[in-house]
Amino acid sequence: MRRPTIARRGIAATALALTLGLTLAACSGDSEDDASPTPSATSTADPAAEADEAAVAAITVTGDPGAEPVVTLPTTPFEVSTTVVKVLTPGTGETIEDGQQLTIQSVVVSGVDGSVAASTYTTTPDIVILDADLGDLHDTLVGEKVGARFVRTVPPQSADDPTSYVQVGEIVAATTIPSRASGTPVTPPAGLPTVTLDSDGKPTVAAATGAAPTTLVVQPLITGTGAPVTAEQTLTVNYDLSLWDGTAVTSTWDDGKPAQFALSSTIPGWQEGLVGQPVGSQVLLVVPPDKGYGAKASDTIPANSTLVYVVDILAAS
């Protein structure tokens, strides 16, 4: 799917970004000062998996809830060949539900020497949607409680990087995200693409006539009641993208799940057009080439295209 990004979060920018880029899975909780993961009671016929379970059980995690934990590996180099996910200590907050947006603080250590490879505690927490795409992380966290701390391993992903990693994370918050914009409808002026919504809020965009505008058009279609979006936030959105001539490009409604972007990583048309819009809004953006992908073709988008986005701002954090 064509995303409105110029550059996504770097794979080593945050702890979860690092491990998401490898293969995601997880586990939860630690409110004690010293905790070690408990191996799963489920036996396995795979000797490698059994060995990895035992290795994870020997990891020690210390530190108070809310603070960056100290992860001590039983030996270095620490190597695993499978992904293992374990609960350290359950949380005490609200129950985590499928499809919620999670705020996660985590630290990742390298199996080579136990050093910290990445940490959100020195940057900003990661924001993810808890759905089936997260694999074992999803399966483990659904039904846990906010405040849970988890440990998981990530085996080497290629011969070029034979490193195993260990992640310890804490679920800071779990928020139920609406599926569509809601608020006060706004009647747009004539001459813009026409947007109609089905019963689920999915937009259909009919092309406008005439020449495409040469400057960015920002037209609210629904004004939400949330806080205004700021430039440094990560947005959770549903969006539809088409070209000025009406050619459909992509839609998160077709994916069946919203998308998430650090607003600062998106095309200029998004950065300029969405800052200040209230969360909950639906915004029509008509993005000229110099605010989009410019003179270069991008996937199915021809060079020098004027882009038409319909964006539902579902959350910002």
pTM: 0.77
**Average confidence (pLDDT) over 34-56:** 65
pLDDT (0 to 100) of residue 133: 86
Q: CA dist 265 to 4, 166, 232, 305, Å?
A: 9, 27, 10, 20
Residues 115 and 198 occupy one common structural domain? no
**Average confidence (pLDDT) over 278-301:** 94
Residues 123 and 162 occupy one common structural domain? yes
9 in a domain, yes or no?
Answer: no
Amino acid identity, position 286: V
Residues 241 and 145 occupy one common structural domain? no
Q: Are 235 and 261 in contact (CB under 8 A)?
A: yes
**Residue keyed to tokens 């199996």:** 111
Residues 35 and 149 occupy one common structural domain? yes
**Confidence band, pLDDT 50/70/90 cuts, at residue 158:** confident
**Confidence band, pLDDT 50/70/90 cuts, at residue 25:** very low
* CA 208/CA 191 separation, integer angstroms: 6
Exposed (0-12), middle (13-18) or buried (19+): which is 53, by Cβ within 10 Å?
buried
pLDDT (0 to 100) of residue 137: 86
Range with lowest mean pLDDT among 43-52, 127-136, 235-244, 259-268 = 43-52
pLDDT of residue 29 exceeding 50, the answer is no
Residues 134 and 190 occupy one common structural domain? no
Q: Which of 175, 208, 239 is the last residue of a domain?
A: 175
pLDDT (0 to 100) of residue 45: 60
Residues 202 and 89 occupy one common structural domain? no
Q: Are 289 and 305 in contact (CB under 8 A)?
A: yes
7 in a domain, yes or no?
Answer: no
**Average confidence (pLDDT) over 73-90:** 93
Q: 300: which 2 tokens? A: 């199915």
Residues 207 and 167 occupy one common structural domain? no
**Confidence band, pLDDT 50/70/90 cuts, at residue 124:** confident
For the chain, the three-class secondary structure string (H helix, E strand, C coil) is: CCCCECCCCCCCCCHHHHHHCCCCCCCCCCCCCEECCCCCCCCCCCHHHHHHHHHHHCCEEECCCCCCCEEECCCCCCCCCCCCEEEEECCCCCECCCCCEEEEEEEEEECCCCCEEEEHHHCCCEEEECCHHHCHHHHHHCCCECCCEEEEEECCCECCECCCEEEEEEEEEEECCCCCCCCEECCCCCCCCEEEECCCCCEEEECCCCCCCCCCEEEEEEECCCCECCCCCEEEEEEEEEECCCCEEEEHHHHCCCEEEEHHHECHHHHHHHCCCECCCEEEEEECHHHCCCCCCECCECCCCCEEEEEEEEEEC
pLDDT (0 to 100) of residue 7: 31
Residues 74 and 155 occupy one common structural domain? yes
**Confidence band, pLDDT 50/70/90 cuts, at residue 269:** very high
pLDDT more than 90, % of the chain: 73
Residues 194 and 166 occupy one common structural domain? no
**Confidence band, pLDDT 50/70/90 cuts, at residue 47:** confident
244 in a domain, yes or no?
Answer: yes
> In terms of residue numbers, what domain contains 192?
184-316
Q: How many domains does the chain have?
A: 2
pLDDT in tens, 193-202: 999 999 999 9
pLDDT in tens, 163-174: 999 999 999 999
* CATH of residue 21: 3.10.50.40
**Average confidence (pLDDT) over 117-123:** 93
* Bridge partner list, 152: 85, 167
1 in a domain, yes or no?
Answer: no
Q: What is the mean pLDDT of the chain?
A: 87
Q: Are 49 and 22 in contact (CB under 8 A)?
A: no
Amino acid identity, position 213: P
Residues 88 and 235 occupy one common structural domain? no
pLDDT of residue 21 exceeding 50, the answer is no
Q: Which residue has the higher pLDDT, 32 or 305?
A: 305
Q: Are 32 and 89 in contact (CB under 8 A)?
A: yes
Q: Which of 110, 141, 175 is the last residue of a domain?
A: 175
pLDDT of residue 213 exceeding 70, the answer is yes
Q: Which residue has the higher pLDDT, 43 or 281?
A: 281
127 in a domain, yes or no?
Answer: yes
Residues 160 and 203 occupy one common structural domain? no
166 in a domain, yes or no?
Answer: yes
Q: 83: which 2 tokens? A: 């992904």
**Average confidence (pLDDT) over 213-225:** 98
pLDDT (0 to 100) of residue 56: 93
Residues 100 and 49 occupy one common structural domain? yes
8 in a domain, yes or no?
Answer: no
**Average confidence (pLDDT) over 65-83:** 94
* CA 26/CA 136 separation, integer angstroms: 6
Q: Which of 123, 146, 175 is the last residue of a domain?
A: 175
Pairing type for strands 101-110 and 282-287 reads unpaired
99 in a domain, yes or no?
Answer: yes
Range with lowest mean pLDDT among 18-32, 43-57, 129-143, 203-217 = 18-32
**Residue keyed to tokens 């992640």:** 167
Q: Are 100 and 131 in contact (CB under 8 A)?
A: no
